[in-house]
Amino acid sequence: MAKDIKIKDTEVIRMIAPYQAKSERWQENLSTERKACLALYNMDKLGNEQKGWSQAVASTVWDAVEWLKPGLSSIFAHPDFAEIKMVDTARAKRIKKAIRYQMFRKNKGKREIRSWLHDTLLYHYGVIKVFHKTDFDLETLKHDKLSLEEMEQLVNEVDIQISKYDEVETEVPVPPLEWLMNGGDKVTTEIHYEKVKAVRRKVKYAGPSMECIPPWEFYTTPGCKDLDSSPFVAHRKKKTLHDIKRGELTGQYVKGSHKKLQDHLESNESPEVMDEYRATYEADNLDVDELGGIEISTSKEDQAISPNSEVFVWECYLRMDIDQDGLLEPVIATICGDVVLQLEENPYKRPPFRVGRLYEIAHRFEAKPLPLVLRDDQMELTNLQRILVDAAADSAYGNIITSDPEFAKQWANRQIGDVILSQAFDKFKEVRPKQPGGILLDAKETIRVGSERKTGVSSVNQGIDDNSYGKTATGVMALQSAGMQRQKFNADVLADTMEEVFRDFVEINHLFPPQEMHNPHASEKDQIQQNDFDILDDFDITVNIGVGPQDRQNQAAILEKHFQKVVQVFLPQGLAKPEHLLAIEEAIGKLLDTPVDGLQCSVDEFDELKKIKQQCQQLAGELQSAKQQLAAVTGRGIAPTGGNGGTGGASQGQPVPFGPMGQGRPGVAGPSPQPRPNG
């Protein structure tokens, strides 16, 4: 039930301001570390480079992040990554298909999950926002003239908002009889409306939505262990004046918000976060001035005339006594500067964010970023790589010591095969250092192995270890299984977040029952029903974790052996059904990314075949019963099926249809009568 809001806007701003200040300081500190993480990922120069020497930077962080992505993406970006466990299996199947349709068809689920994985691997955390969204189009309606009654009818339409009109008063004569009897005026005033413009909201999708929000848009108070215990959580994002006007027309923001924001167009972004914006985009030599909003003009005169002018909107989640009853209620306060755009009770009862962390730290909200864990490895490997390259070049090309400037110039500019003409052949000394020894390569290998232990991403798992060809298959599999332990643990940690996301989809469908939920990719019996989401806590969710192709192949091999056991032992003993064989084949196909749809019957098709078979058996029994009744009436037996013997002209096990034996069908020559036996 919606609360009766009695709190003033000024009081809302006063209560939120201290939380904003604390969360901004927290975000600025994290922004400094995120820039360091991004520099390591982009292989930025270390700052100690010298002209003419190697300037290569090791790709330790980039390799770890990009090689962790495929295995994790194959789990969480797969439409079948989660299973619902409940007593009613048919209902669980319908719910799963409905949520999968919402997550990956009505939302860009795969792209959002990949973005979340990137943020989680690169920064302190990755944030997914799960909320109820109404996606709609605005249709413009125009009326040249409307009466007062027609205008009232238009205003009362739920999905229509009046955006512009001209109110016109006109004088009309009163009928003579009326003004004579009442003694009134001969003319009266009527009101009508001209040039009426309205917008109608046409809903395209209304339901749960997921969005990966950038870390620099997520704010919370420092020191909290999780979001549920944080007194303040906010999503700070940029919006244009056009977005504000559109939200005002559709009821998302209170009326008058667009006009109030004319005084809040100046940029109020902190310098630290602005530097992070620049670092994010300038890494690929993009011009931040052309990105639309990275640089914001502080001239109010210039921005007031442009609907694309941007403001920073805070969507705040906190507890506040909005109805003055002495109790704190969870609310959503959307503000910009000192303007309250919207204040409403929080239907989710908690901040609608789910946070994933790779290297969790106990009792802390922020995790240790992977790039900072590998920073020393990347710097040391960079230095060793440069030393190796420079030493090899120095050994190959050498240096000279000479007092002849001309000879020194020719030597510096020489190419392979050049002939140097100089009279100073006896006035120089060549210095050629020894070739780099194996100690540098051993040092590089030591550092590489150390980083592999931290991340779990090894050359064997990547399939790029040349030494694997000299090992037995059993030995390689053992190395791969050992290397998968860290990756499996990473997947298990992140699976907690995705379980919560899946559960949020169920709960949002329960809070906001879908009015129309027809899934064109599901059969009629798999369509979601109106009360399917009334399950609350009567269900469990599991995430199918399988990391890397080797691990999935091992799981598929185990299922293949189980398939043989079911065929040879379980089916004969009645411990399994044929449906289990189909389920095993589908599971093997998912593990190997090889769809088996269309290559075998599905479980539903198998059920249909069983029903058809049962109906055929029932019809065959009824047919046999009818034959026996017919034989009893005619006094004739039933010939064996497919035999030529039996009585008279009956064949294929059918009784003689017409008259005594030998008569045949009317008009058709039948066999000659046979003499009856004596007696």
Q: What is the 3-state secondary structure (H, E, C) of 312-323?
A: EEEEEEEEECCC
Mean pLDDT lowest among 76-85, 266-275, 293-302, 400-409: 293-302
DSSP state of 216: G
What is the mean predicted confidence (pLDDT) over 62-80? 87
Query: How high is the mean pLDDT of the chain?
Result: 78
Percent pLDDT > 90 in the chain is 22
**Residue 518 binned pLDDT confidence (cut-offs 50, 70, 90):** low
pLDDT at 523: 66
Mean pLDDT lowest among 129-133, 314-318, 433-437: 433-437
Q: Which of 328, 312, 311 is nearest to 320 (CA)?
A: 328
pLDDT at 313 exceeding the cut of 80: yes
pLDDT at 667: 43
What is the mean predicted confidence (pLDDT) over 27-32? 91
**Residue 146 binned pLDDT confidence (cut-offs 50, 70, 90):** confident
Look-up of token digits 């039996």: 646
Q: Which of 314, 341, 360 is nearest to 218 (CA)?
A: 314
| Higher per-residue confidence, 602 vs 322 | 322
Contacts of 51 (CB under 8 A, 6+ apart): none
**Residue 151 binned pLDDT confidence (cut-offs 50, 70, 90):** confident
pLDDT at 659 exceeding the cut of 50: no
Helix (H) or strand (E) holding 173: strand 160-173
Mean pLDDT lowest among 134-148, 477-491, 498-512: 477-491
Q: Which of 28, 5, 1 is nearest to 342 (CA)?
A: 5
pLDDT at 664: 42
| Higher per-residue confidence, 150 vs 131 | 131
What is the mean predicted confidence (pLDDT) over 310-330? 89
Contact 133, 206 (CB under 8 A): yes
Mean pLDDT lowest among 39-48, 192-201, 494-503, 665-674: 665-674
Contacts of 390 (CB under 8 A, 6+ apart): 53, 54
pLDDT at 206 exceeding the cut of 90: no
pLDDT at 142 exceeding the cut of 80: yes
pLDDT at 350 exceeding the cut of 90: yes
| Higher per-residue confidence, 376 vs 308 | 376
Query: What is the pTM for the complete model shown?
Result: 0.73
| Higher per-residue confidence, 164 vs 15 | 15
What is the mean predicted confidence (pLDDT) over 536-545? 76
Percent pLDDT > 70 in the chain is 74
| Higher per-residue confidence, 280 vs 219 | 219
Contact 236, 213 (CB under 8 A): no
CA–CA gap between residue 303 and residue 623 (Å, rounded):
86
Q: What angle do CA 325, 328, 332 make, to 5 degrees?
A: 115
**Residue 160 binned pLDDT confidence (cut-offs 50, 70, 90):** confident
pLDDT 10s digits, 242-268:
888 878 877 788 888 888 876 656 545
What is the mean predicted confidence (pLDDT) over 484-492? 82
pLDDT at 81: 82
pLDDT at 646 exceeding the cut of 50: no
Contact 253, 7 (CB under 8 A): no
**Residue 679 binned pLDDT confidence (cut-offs 50, 70, 90):** very low
CA–CA gap between residue 641 and residue 103 (Å, rounded):
58
CA–CA gap between residue 570 and residue 551 (Å, rounded):
26
pLDDT at 144: 84
| Higher per-residue confidence, 529 vs 241 | 241
pLDDT at 12: 93
Query: Which of the residue ranges 62-71, 157-166, 289-298, 638-647 has the most confident prediction, judged by mean pLDDT?
Result: 62-71
CA–CA gap between residue 113 and residue 120 (Å, rounded):
10
Q: Which two tokens stand for residue 430?
A: 């060549």
pLDDT at 291: 39
Q: Which two tokens stand for residue 280?
A: 């994010």
Pseudo-torsion of CA 474, 479, 485, 487, nearest 10°?
Answer: -110
Please state the length of the chain: 679
